[in-house]
Structures are given as C-alpha cells and as structure tokens.
Amino acid sequence: MDISIVIPALNEAEKIRFDVEAAASFTKDSGWHGEVIVVDDGSTDGTAEAARKANIPSSVKLVIIRLEKNSGKGFAVKTGIQKTRGDVVLFADSGTCVPYTNALKQVERIRSGDLDMAMASRRLKETRILKDRSQKRRMLSRLFRMAAIAITGLPRRITDSQCGFKLYKGKIARKLFDECLTRGYLFELEIILRALKLGYRVEEFPIEWSCDLDTRLRPGSDAFGVLKEMFKIRSIIKKTQK
C-alpha cells in the first residue's frame, strides 16, 4: 500500500466527513492506493458515524477506529499508526488546516529514500499563513518552544514541533509510535526527540496554513502540567537506546 493517512478526532462530527473526503481525494488524484484511518477518541457527538458517511473512491480504504473513552491525542494517533500498512504514513489533524497537496514533495522524498520524517512548520519563511491564530496563542506557542528547548533538549532548528501535519516512512512511524509513551498532545515532542536520537533524517517543510478556530486544544490552561510532562519526556528520551 502506498500511503496511510491517520486522522485523530474528538467531537468532530461537523467536519470529519470533509477531512476524510479531502484525504481520500488527495490519495486518488496522486495515483496511489491507500487508506484513511480515523481514530475517534471517545467522541460524544457521533464523529465515527459521520466519518462513515464520507464518499471515497474504491482505490482508498476507509478504516474507523472507535475508542470508547477519551484517551488522549497521543494515544489516538498511536492507535491509528499501529494499524497502518502504507509505505508512507501521514498524520493530519481534523479541520484540514493544511491542504494535503502540500505533502506531495515530501511523500516523494520519503518514497525515494531521501527522508525519514517530514514536519510541517508554520514558522518557516516560505510558509503562507492564510488565517492566523490569536495573539495569545502565538505567544503561548513561543513560550512552549522555549520551554521545550530548555527542558527536553529540542534542537533550535526545529521551529514548530506541534503542527499537526507530519509524514513518516511507514516502518519508521510504526516503530516510533510502538515505543511512544506520551498519551496527551505532547506526544509529538517525544516522537521528534526519539527520531533524532535514533539518527533518522528529519526535516521541516513550508505549508499553506489556516487556523481552525474550532479547536479542541486549550493552550495555557495547565501550564504546570505541560512542564511536568516535558520533564517526563526528557526522562523517557534519556533512557532511549540508540
């Protein structure tokens, strides 16, 4: 299978169908055989049922995984990636903040063996921000990055660890997520640090990005918990074997 696209979702019944159809169209229009895997993280609004109503081409398989209780974004993404079969794995947040066509060049680089992990970044000079976050969220994002650098050792060259649009070589994605221990949204920090420690080729790439105002993320609501989780991730990475 050429590509697997994993979409975690929590109470996204109003938009998940459009997410699935966008991912499936991207796969078909690129001439690939693939799968779209939706992981419903304990939604209470019928997200899984809405995803099943998506119209997708026969060359794309739709897989719906329903978690009975909310288990955290990291756990949802891990559950989806463990079920993937694609040579390339793409993880994308619900809301289609980044057009899937932005991933074309990175998919080809991964398939050619030139790259192991590609991360969308909202901070690169070439990136186009079509609808930006609030000033508060931009400030919190900067503080988060500074804390991640200071506490976990995140390299300064990584400008945007938390953008929810990342691609991996399939085997590497499954290895990294099999070993991932972070269940909440800081899982991306752990995955990046694991990948770098293991010597994988990791690069950021520019995108066209629109903020999804209907987000489930509430940055800044638990600053102490975020810092505590960063120290936990630092400890996890120290124990990781090369």
pLDDT in tens, 53-80: 999 999 999 999 999 999 999 999 999 9
Contacts of 120 (CB under 8 A, 6+ apart): 98, 102, 160, 163, 165, 166, 204, 205, 207, 209
In Å, how far from its chain's centre is CA 234?
20
pLDDT digit string, tens, across residues 151-176 = 999 999 999 999 999 999 999 999 99
List, in order of start, the domains of the chain with CATH numbers. Answer: 3-238 (3.90.550.10)
Averaged pLDDT, 41-48: 97
Token pair for residue 180? 């991932």
Q: Which two tokens stand for residue 115?
A: 């790259």
Taking each continuous run of H as one helix and of E as one strand, the counts in the chain are: 8, 9
Tell me how far apart the alpha carbons of residues 50 and 38 are, in angstroms, rounded to a whole number: 11
Distance CA 241, CA 197 (A): 8
Beta bridge partners of 51: none
State the average pLDDT for the chain.
95
Q: How confident is the model at residue 216 (pLDDT cuts 50, 70, 90)?
A: low
SS3 of residue 86 by DSSP: coil
Residue pair 166/172 in contact by the 8 Å Cβ criterion: no
Tokens standing for residue 229: 């989780």
What's the confidence (pLDDT) of residue 215?
60
pLDDT number for residue 78? 98
Q: What is the mean pLDDT of residues 116-142?
A: 94
Q: What is the pLDDT of residues 176-201, one digit of tens each?
A: 999 999 999 999 999 999 999 999 99
